[in-house]
Amino acid sequence: MKVRTILFACLLLAVSGCSRLTVQNYSKIAVGMSYNDVTGFIGTPTKCDDVMSLRNCTWKDGKRSVSVTFAGGKVLLFSSSNLN
């Protein structure tokens, strides 16, 4: 029984630690950074919309989210919500 509890706790920690939406990764985003650079450290966006040469991408993980607007493939604006 102890082994199962320990294995379950390790699995829970591993799964909860998989999110790439962290304050550390968000702080790496900078104006002028390429789309490929951003996706390299926070992963594939949940959703992207292309409007008049702008690409608005959102990454979501539960309540956490990051939004980035790209112009010409480069970061123009970015914001986050509920990152701890």
Contacts of 53 (CB under 8 A, 6+ apart): 71, 72
pLDDT in tens, 6-25: 544 444 444 444 689 999 99
* CATH number corresponding to 21-81: 3.30.1450.10
Residues 41/78, Cβ–Cβ less than 8 Å: no
| Burial class of residue 74, CB neighbours in 10 A (0-12, 13-18, 19+) | middle
Q: For position 77, what pLDDT does the model report?
A: 98
Does residue 61 surpass a pLDDT of 50?
yes
Share of residues in the chain with pLDDT > 70 (%): 79
Q: For position 21, what pLDDT does the model report?
A: 93
Q: For position 84, what pLDDT does the model report?
A: 81
Q: For position 19, what pLDDT does the model report?
A: 85
